[in-house]
Amino acid sequence: MIVCVCNAKNSQTVRETLTGAPHIGTPAAAHRAMGCKPQCGRCLPAIADLIEEVRNENAVVTALAAAD
């Protein structure tokens, strides 16, 4: 699914970018990591949601690894 129409970035690309760079905390930083920048800004809430989702997934993985 396309998340950022202006930069033709789909949710898989955004997720892969976020997974590979856990320090990314803002939609603008996510755009920079993908080699582009926000234009219209309509995707910013969706990218913020993806940042939160990936952060939560990483926390679960870390907690499971620590439990082993």
* 39 touches ligand FES by CB under 6 A: yes
* 26 touches ligand FES by CB under 6 A: no
Residues 6+ apart with CB under 8 A from 8: 2
* 61 touches ligand FES by CB under 6 A: no
**For residues 19 and 34, is the Cβ–Cβ distance under 8 A?**
no
**For residues 20 and 13, is the Cβ–Cβ distance under 8 A?**
no
* 14 touches ligand FES by CB under 6 A: no
Residue 20 is given by DSSP the state: H
> For ligand FES, which is the closer residue by CB, 4 or 51?
4
Instruction: Quote the least distance from Cβ 45 to ligand FES, whole Å.
Output: 10
* 4 touches ligand FES by CB under 6 A: yes
